Structure 1
Amino acid sequence: MEMAGVRRAAQAQKRWSARIRPASRKTMTVEGSAYGEAVRAVRAGELDADEAADLIIDRMTDREVLGLLDGDSPSLLLPLIPVLLGRRPFVAGAVPRLGIPGIRFSDGPRGVVIGTSTAFPVTIARAATWDPLLEERVGHAIGLETRARGANYSASICVNLLRHPAWGRAQECYGEDPVLTGRMGAALTRGVRMNVMACVKHFALNSMENERFEVDVSVDEHALHEVYLPHFKTVVDAGADSVMSAYNRVRGEYMDVNRPLLTDVLRDEWGFSGFVTSDWVFGTHDAVVSLQAGMDVEMPLRMLRARDLPAALHRGDVARATVLRSARRILRTSVMHAATREAAGPCAAIIASPAHRVLAHQVAAESIVLLKNEITGGTPLLPLTSTIGHLAVIGRLAVRANLGDHGSSRVRPPSTVSPLKGLREALPRVRITTASGRNVRAAAAAAAAAETAIVVVGLDQHDEGESVVTAGVDVGVLGRAFGSGRLRRPLIALAHLASRFVRGGDRNSLDLRPSDVSLIRAVTAVNSRTVVVLIGGSAMLTEAWRDRVPALLLAWYGGMEGGHALASVLTGAVEPGGRLPFVLPTDAAHLPSFDSAAKSVIYDDRWGQRRLDGDGHAPAFPFGFGLGYTTIEHRLLNHKFDNTGGSAEVLVTNTGDREGSTVVQVYAADVSIRRPVAQLLGFKKVTLQPGAETTVQVALDAGPTLQRDPVTRHWAPRTGDWAMLAAQHSPSTWENARRLRRPGRLTYEENDLDSQSG
């Protein structure tokens, strides 16, 4: 045991020893055990979590301590992981003799994967709400249902940046912007950890799927610390209890053995005090080196560490202090969480309860992005009027709930609502005819006979999602431990077998399926009142057909209440509240190159809207864009800003004739360069009654205007001639800012950021 730990334990033992009562293994319960008493003492303020962890460790055998560092299930369960993940928590480090419950894992970016549960819209849909307060409510609901299913640890916070929309798991992230991602991820973290430990993933630079096990990411210091890591730090600062390391390599080292990131950055620079777990099965490459690098728990089975650590400890290949350091992190975090979480555990009735269904409906409705709504017959096509008599609902996705990926994030709700079902319930007196779209002539005939046609097209789990295997399974995927021996051949055979059934992975194209495009063209050719609804988890190109369509919405994978939410937006019962969390380009060539089979990639600071800005390409729809059913104006009044952040005061006015919402977005850019690149500093969602106005305070993040010295690790303002704008989406021009600015360097202390309305 480390000397600091010995001293803490000795000091605490005097205060605590009288409260520890011996108990037999048969009679010991959690609350009457060493662990339960430690939780009680921390809750009462008699011990801190470090002292409690040391006292528990002092009562553990070496075998029990080593057992904290990997999963409890035997490696033979590997083929059953997909089945078991949906039936029970995966446990690591349970010690019944002392009442230690262990880490009891559940996945769930869009809801709990164990049993049936509430299926919320996917993460990227919730990012489109631009509403951290709403996301915190989702986190609280997910935490409650996770706890009700017997788990105490949720890996629901995915904050990997969307570097390219072809990434198969784009639906599990919050989009392309570090500030939006950080704030939404922090909100989910705060909500989840009210009831269970919150794990943020996948650390770090994980944003491609097919070669995620092997790809090596090269990145310079600027892009690493100022683009791809800030949102992870935001979530860590929000209280994340755990971090999951990624499969990929960064600068030549797999993440489980990447000491520069796991220890030098995560712990030494950021001060993270929780524990790190591996991504599952293939995320641990060396039992000893990963422990020394800062990866605490191998998940989810007894594999490398169970085989190698006991002998390594006996030989002295790994220091006892290193083992105890990880054990202390795990127990300290677990005890602290148990002592501070909501006291009353939820009952099973909370799962998919009416309140959570209402929340799922609200989130889905507020995530829907209205991209086009042209005047048709003297008025905007949407919302649909109450006088409509005949509606045609067309497309293969119209009759499906289509909840998203069928990988590790899959949620199985007790019921679902398709777009067709939602519309029928919302419009009971309207004649609704349907066509699957497989027969384009039949679909066109149905559309021609109706007053309005709604075409529902897009993606599903066959097009994108988690990929369990790579295109070419090799020993590198299985890790050094399986380069030889009895498990090598069975694992490779299992992976090849799985590849015959696994769907999803990275996308081959950003276009819709050709059949969907043909369907849109056929329907719009016969009905000028056509609404296209896109379903999916990322960007889809629209140039081949967008000019034919008067109304266009992006409805994502909307969760179990997605059909009801879509109907409420189409009929005007609810305002379309979504704003794009990424840019929609006119051409995939305007984005970074993406090779789903690449073994090595370079990540720089040119991606998404920023790349389009820098290259001078106009998007189809910019980052942050979204229409409503009313008109709202913004005007930036004043601001306070320095290198720690600040706030902006924005006047918002609803100039329309109905209630509506907007997302106030504040951007900054260096206007001294030829093509200024917008940097989101802050945002806030606001709802206004018709004719109303209000002044909104928008919290600003200084991070995008700072640079990090790689030697001193000190952050300082970037040089440049900076201006600030309040806008309703990423601004397309900074000409006014150029005229207003005087030459010179940005000086935070003098509050030297000029401002104007967007």
Structure 2
Amino acid sequence: MNIKKILKWLGYSLLVVLAVISFFIYRAYDYTVHNVAFDKEKFPEINTEQDLDKLTHELISNMTLDEKIDQMYGQTMGEGIATLGINHLLFDRLPHFYVAGNERLNIPRFAFSDGPRGVKSNKERTMGDKKGVTSFPISMSRGASWDLEMESRIYEVIAKEMRASGVNYTGTPTVNLLRHPAWGRAQEVYSEDPWLMGEMGLQATRSLQKHNVMSSVKHFALNSIENSRFVVDVEVDERTLREVYLPHFKKVIQDGNVASVMSSYNKVNGIYAGNHKYLLTDILRNEWGFDGFVINDFMYGTHDAVASINAGLNVEMPFQQHYQHDTIKQAISDGEFSETRIDELVFDTLKTQLKYGLAQDPMEYPDAIIATADSIALTKEAAEKGMVLLKNGYDKNTNVLPFSKSAHQTVAVIGRLADVRNTGDKGSSGTFEPYVITPYQGIADYNKKLGNKVVLDNAADLNASKALAKSADQVVVVVGYTYVDEGEFLLASDEANEAARLGKRTGEKADGGDRESLKLLPEDEALIQALANTNENLVVVYVGGSGIDMSAWNEKVPAILFSWYSGMEGGNALANILYGDVNPSGKLPFSIAKQASDYPYFTPYTEKITYGYYHGYTLFDKKDIEPAYPFGFGLSYTNYDYSNLIIANSELTENDSLRVSVTVTNSGKVAGDEVIQLYIGFANSAVDRPVKLLRDFARISLEPGQSKVVELEVAAKDMAWYNPQAKAWQVEKMNYELYVGSSSADQDLLESQFTVQ
């Protein structure tokens, strides 16, 4: 064979290889979108719980063992990994994840998408007509709104857009506790406080399931560290587990009747959460009465099929890794568990799928309901309500905001993030939206109608930035983070595991993950220091997902506004806040310490860590540490006065509820919203307890001069502590303190007492 023939043969071979590769890439790109709807004519009408149980048992009894095992994982590894890898790496999108199904028995697959701030996976909308979905501010921003009714409306939109996208199962809400502000995924959760977290998560779950989207609350449990999440062993005592890290899960599971629970990657007291019978069966099912199904966190959340099956993990997601047919059959043969155990796990999943799949939908879900004008208006409202004004002038008599609306002014918008589309994490909470209004765009558009000049400066030259700030009438300094700095850690698991083992970073840091410093990036710190004394009409706008160390510049700048990752309409919302069209009303959903050493111990790279009983405001209260900004704090453009705190029943039994009222008056000149917070104090406790705990709150609107009587209520059972010796919750019979006010700080609270007899 001569050289020409060899080259010709190699050329044809290469073309064939390229054609095959292109075919598989196209097939992965154009993956099959399964219809997740039941053909209801092929199933009996379901009117009672007994009807549902009977149908589920009948379907399982008609399955072979192989068909039962098919209900216990998402997709096969080959099919799933090719679809995920090609779509994620080549097309920057996340495909739907499909689960279970049985064509012979007319059971469709169900489809999973994440959704903390909008629909994550959406094939047609992200790669077809490019319209995208509604992208809301991050969960932490919505936690800062303390607005339960708004969170319900937000998840109504997300649920509708999921259904329109062909999704009926979602990995949200995320209710892991913010234990330390450096946690990379803080933006996906609502608060450092279990009560606020649980109340917000409950609204999310109810709204999702109202539209027959099965909600999977995550990550169960103790997942509050990111870089070491695959290997870290979290040590926790029983009281801390029960009182601090589980109450919000319990509320969503019991009060929200959540369909599903996602276990976490980490170990809990030496056992991986996906293998943890105490968590997944003893507590979740036997104590809390959970009757839905449990999945693992994706890819690295299962380790041993036998241990997970015996622990109560129903479905391995998103691919079949350990729940292999041969493995499960061999375990049955070896007596590790019986086929009846498989029936039990399949029953939980299938019954839940039937419950939502055969239910009557409250509406239809056409493509046209995605990213509507009303939905976009809601995301702007959410951004406005979540922004927290921390500082507004060097003293109470020199307010910087709202800015003047006078014409012929020069407005300087300075910072490397000032004109960046920056909606937060690109991991499981990322979204594909039709557009994003940056801070600069929002401010420029607003000032265009005022006849003002807006100058954008990316802060590449500090001397030039300083000169601009000095000459401008108004200065907005935008600092903070992007998905590169914090978020879901997207480093390969073997590198992450090695870093955790060594207790330090190895190699280059990948996108996301925990923050290794609470300070802003050096370039932002330098920018603030350079501009600190240049202009009295200057505001530092922080973009990010959690608390930061402001100690180096907090006293040097006139005003500070936390705008978070504020969604697709964030820039417009920011302008409305800065110029007073909207009165800021957000309140911190976490405490900000004066110095990083005041927080609990935290490191991103570790194989073991202990979670203590105290963190956040409970820690600062207990140690009498004054924070830089307390939990629940936020300024307004008006003033609110609290008076006439009344307890309707100052003596109650452990079966009663405390009923309280307080009068709140807007004593300023502009309308606004106030968040009233109720805390219970435990100074007389016979055991170690927090100084006080949040136990109710309300958000109200007040016109100038208007007063409202706000009624609050706390069940005595919600004042209980967990006695690990008795393995029971106990309400102490003693005198309690009642605190009601505008933040958790002592000076912001009215105080009274009551007794549980």
Residue of 112, 116, 123 corresponding to 1:109:
116
**Aligned position for 1:356:** 375
Residue of 627, 631, 655 corresponding to 1:623:
631
Deviations 1:145-201 (A, max 9, x none): 111111110112000000001111000111100100000000111111122111100
The residue matched to 1:546 in structure 2 has which SS? coil
Question: What displacement does 1:375 show?
Answer: 6.7
Report the residue type matching 1:199 in the other structure. Answer: S
**Aligned position for 1:391:** 411
> C-alpha distance in 2, partners of 1:72/1:164?
36
Deviations 1:100-123 (A, max 9, x none): 123310011111112331111111
Report the residue type matching 1:41 in the other structure. Answer: E
- 520-529 vs 671-680, greater mean Cα deviation: 671-680
Report the residue type matching 2:238 in the other structure. Answer: E
> C-alpha distance in 1, partners of 2:417/2:51?
54
Q: Say if 2:427 is the partner of 1:407.
A: yes
> C-alpha distance in 2, partners of 1:548/1:477?
38
Match runs of 1:444-483 below 5 Å: 444-469=466-491, 473=495
Change (3 A) 1:642 1:217: farther
Deviations 1:367-410 (A, max 9, x none): 00011112799752111121151110100111013100111211
> C-alpha distance in 1, partners of 2:38/2:563?
50
Question: What displacement does 1:83 show?
Answer: 5.4
CA contact (8 A) 1:216 1:600 kept: yes
Change (3 A) 1:277 1:676: closer
Deviations 1:227-262 (A, max 9, x none): 110000000021211000000000110011100110
The residue matched to 2:443 in structure 1 has which SS? helix
Q: Say if 2:306 is the partner of 1:288.
A: yes
Q: Say if 2:740 is the partner of 1:722.
A: no
CA contact (8 A) 2:83 2:95 kept: no
Deviations 1:442-485 (A, max 9, x none): 1111111111111000111121111133685488999xxxxxxx
> C-alpha distance in 2, partners of 1:32/1:459?
44
**Aligned position for 1:488:** none
Residue of 231, 240, 243 corresponding to 1:214:
231
> C-alpha distance in 1, partners of 2:330/2:498?
24
**Aligned position for 2:4:** none
Deviations 1:703-744 (A, max 9, x none): 66311233544321246642101110003369985xx76xxx
Q: Say if 2:102 is the partner of 1:95.
A: yes
> C-alpha distance in 1, partners of 2:204/2:150?
9
> C-alpha distance in 1, partners of 2:567/2:583?
18
**Aligned position for 1:67:** 70
Change (3 A) 1:647 1:240: farther
> C-alpha distance in 2, partners of 1:475/1:367?
36
Q: Say if 2:620 is the partner of 1:612.
A: yes
**Aligned position for 1:201:** 218
TM-score (ref. length: structure 1): 0.87
Question: What displacement does 1:343 show?
Answer: 4.0
Q: Say if 2:571 is the partner of 1:563.
A: yes
> C-alpha distance in 1, partners of 2:587/2:692?
17
> C-alpha distance in 1, partners of 2:268/2:696?
30
Match runs of 1:171-190 below 5 Å: 171-190=187-206
> C-alpha distance in 2, partners of 1:720/1:470?
53
Change (3 A) 1:549 1:341: farther
Count residues in correspondence: 694
> C-alpha distance in 2, partners of 1:380/1:591?
31
Q: Name stretches of at least 5 consecutive residues in structure 2 with no aligned partner.
A: 1-33, 127-131, 501-505
> C-alpha distance in 2, partners of 1:366/1:309?
51
> C-alpha distance in 1, partners of 2:396/2:243?
49
Residue of 158, 163, 175 corresponding to 1:142:
158
TM-score (ref. length: structure 2): 0.87
**Aligned position for 1:246:** 264
The residue matched to 1:651 in structure 2 has which SS? strand
Q: Say if 2:248 is the partner of 1:231.
A: yes
CA contact (8 A) 2:735 2:756 kept: no
Question: What displacement does 1:348 show?
Answer: 1.1
Q: Say if 2:658 is the partner of 1:658.
A: no
CA contact (8 A) 1:663 1:685 kept: yes
CA contact (8 A) 1:417 1:564 kept: yes
> C-alpha distance in 1, partners of 2:65/2:87?
29
Change (3 A) 1:36 1:626: farther
CA contact (8 A) 2:439 2:574 kept: yes
CA contact (8 A) 1:68 1:102 kept: no
Once superposed, which parts of structure 1, at least 4 consecutive aligned residues long, lie more than 4 Å away?
28-33, 44-47, 82-85, 375-379, 474-478, 498-501, 639-642, 672-676, 701-704, 733-737
Change (3 A) 1:504 1:703: farther
> C-alpha distance in 2, partners of 1:420/1:32?
48
Q: State the identity as a percent.
A: 37
Match runs of 1:471-510 below 5 Å: 473=495, 502-510=510-518
**Aligned position for 1:55:** 58
The residue matched to 1:65 in structure 2 has which SS? helix
CA contact (8 A) 1:171 1:538 kept: yes
> C-alpha distance in 2, partners of 1:652/1:102?
52
CA contact (8 A) 2:175 2:248 kept: yes
Report the residue type matching 2:633 in the other structure. Answer: F
Question: What displacement does 1:521 show?
Answer: 1.9
Deviations 1:479-502 (A, max 9, x none): xxxxxxxxxxxxxxxxxxx98683
CA contact (8 A) 2:230 2:266 kept: yes
Report the residue type matching 2:324 in the other structure. Answer: A
> C-alpha distance in 2, partners of 1:474/1:661?
44
Change (3 A) 1:663 1:344: same
> C-alpha distance in 2, partners of 1:74/1:382?
55
Residue of 681, 689, 693 corresponding to 1:669:
681
Change (3 A) 1:400 1:747: same
The residue matched to 2:313 in structure 1 has which SS? coil
**Aligned position for 2:561:** 553
Question: What displacement does 1:581 show?
Answer: 0.3
**Aligned position for 1:274:** 292
Change (3 A) 1:82 1:183: farther
CA contact (8 A) 1:210 1:471 kept: no
Cα RMSD of the aligned pairs, angstroms, is 2.6
Match runs of 1:584-603 below 5 Å: 584-603=592-611
> C-alpha distance in 2, partners of 1:330/1:499?
42
**Aligned position for 1:41:** 45
**Aligned position for 2:144:** 128
The residue matched to 1:305 in structure 2 has which SS? coil
CA contact (8 A) 2:383 2:567 kept: yes
Change (3 A) 1:376 1:615: closer
Report the residue type matching 2:467 in the other structure. Answer: A
Change (3 A) 1:180 1:351: same
> C-alpha distance in 2, partners of 1:205/1:378?
45
CA contact (8 A) 2:499 2:605 kept: no
CA contact (8 A) 1:65 1:327 kept: yes
CA contact (8 A) 2:38 2:357 kept: no
Report the residue type matching 1:245 in the other structure. Answer: S
Question: What displacement does 1:98 show?
Answer: 2.0
> C-alpha distance in 2, partners of 1:558/1:31?
34
**Aligned position for 1:165:** 181
Report the residue type matching 2:353 in the other structure. Answer: S
Q: Name stretches of at least 5 consecutive residues in structure 1 with no aligned partner.
A: 1-27, 479-497, 750-758
- 308-317 vs 566-575, greater mean Cα deviation: 308-317
The residue matched to 1:432 in structure 2 has which SS? strand
Question: What displacement does 1:626 show?
Answer: 0.4
Question: What displacement does 1:75 show?
Answer: 4.2
